[in-house]
Amino acid sequence: MSARTPLSRATPTRDVTSALDPQAQERAEDELIMHLERDQFVAETSRPVPRAPLGAWASGSLWALRVFVVVVSLMVIYTFVDQLH
């Protein structure tokens, strides 16, 4: 198994109790679980990752880039409409 990522926790190991479980379906589930890393389960990926607010410099730069991109996009759309006429 791979090295752990910061988001991951230990992949559940196969337990003796599950091997003794009479229900075949649950045994099959245990075997399938072995092939997934813990943080790959839908139950895990459903949990949002912690928020990491952008710093003032990064946030300001992103907003500036955002505004610039919107303005240029509007120019491209205007040119597109103008060319139609």
Q: Which residues lie near other proteins (CB under 8 A)?
A: 1-7, 12, 15, 17-18, 21, 23, 26, 29, 32-33, 35-37, 39-46, 48-54, 58, 62, 65-66, 68-69, 72-73, 75-80, 82-84
Q: Kindly state the smallest distance separating residue 56's Cβ from other proteins, in Å.
A: 14
Number of H helices, E strands in the chain: 4, 0
Give the number of other CB atoms < 10 A from CB of residue 18.
16
Q: Kindly state the smallest distance separating residue 55's Cβ from other proteins, in Å.
A: 10
- Distance from the Cα of residue 81 to its chain's centroid: 38
Q: Which tokens is 60 given?
A: 């300001």
